[in-house]
Amino acid sequence: MANEYRTIKEYNSDEYTVKRSKFIGYAKPVTTADEANEFINEIKSKHWDATHNVYAYILRNGGIKRYSDDGEPQGTAGVPVLDVIEKEGLVDTAVVVTRYFGGILLGGGGLVRAYSHSAKIAVDSAKIITMALCLDLEINCDYTFYGKLGAFLANEGAVILDTQFTDEVKVTFRIKSDFHNELSKKLTELSNGKVTATVVCENFCEF
């Protein structure tokens, strides 16, 4: 399993009009086919009166890819939407493009461009982010060593999550999992082997 992947941060939308046809692009982060289908059906219900509700989605688990032209000529709608998701390198991402026909035919090339553009502005509005496999770690140390720890963690690119002060200091922080071995080695050197970092949990997070 890769240690990083690209997805979108939030549910958002954008729209534009070409030759009186109105296109509304919606993008949403999803992790399962059920979530994707629920989102697609939600947009279809919202825009029940639209000419077309075209969709595509890609899931990280299983590498699942699905799309639908929803009545548009084959290859002019769902595939261009899927292409945008793929070219941006996104997973766990669903896009629905709603079209209200304006009375002027766009032609095959025009449809491809319109659906591609609508998908692109949708994913841009939803903010593309990188998710990295991260470790949350804890360090328990005395107050003397704590004086050195802040600068050390900052240099290692760590994000401090919590600091508790009792008879000693407990610092909880987050790093990319790829950096764990190197950080542990440097921490041992800095503390002369007296301080170690304990792994609390591992998960994917925006980093």
Segment 30-58, tens digit of pLDDT: 999 999 999 999 999 999 999 999 999 99
8 A C-beta contact, residue 2 and residue 92: no
CATH number at residue 143: 3.30.70.240
- Alpha carbons 135 and 204: distance in angstroms, whole number: 9
For the segment 88-98, the average pLDDT, to the nearest whole number, is 97
**Residue 135, strand partner residues:** 175, 202
64 and 140 both lie in a single domain = no
Q: Which of 126, 158, 193 is the last residue of a domain?
A: 126
φ, ψ of residue 171 in degrees (nearest 5): -110, 125
For the segment 203-207, the average pLDDT, to the nearest whole number, is 85
59 and 149 both lie in a single domain = no
Residues spanned by the domain of 95 = 4-126
- Alpha carbons 89 and 120: distance in angstroms, whole number: 12
8 A C-beta contact, residue 96 and residue 55: yes
For the segment 144-161, the average pLDDT, to the nearest whole number, is 92
> Judging by DSSP bridges, how do beta strands 93-100 and 52-58 pair with one another?
antiparallel
> Judging by DSSP bridges, how do beta strands 169-176 and 21-29 pair with one another?
unpaired
106 and 174 both lie in a single domain = no
Q: Count CB atoms within 10 A of the CB of residue 70.
A: 19
pLDDT classification of 78: cutoffs 50, 70, 90 = very high
Does the pLDDT value for residue 1 go beyond 70? no
Query: Percent of the chain scored above 70 by pLDDT?
Result: 99
- Residue 206 corresponds to which amino acid? E
pTM score, whole prediction: 0.82
pLDDT at residue number 206: 86
Strands of the chain, DSSP E: 4-8, 12-18, 21-29, 52-58, 65-68, 93-100, 128-141, 159-165, 169-176, 197-206
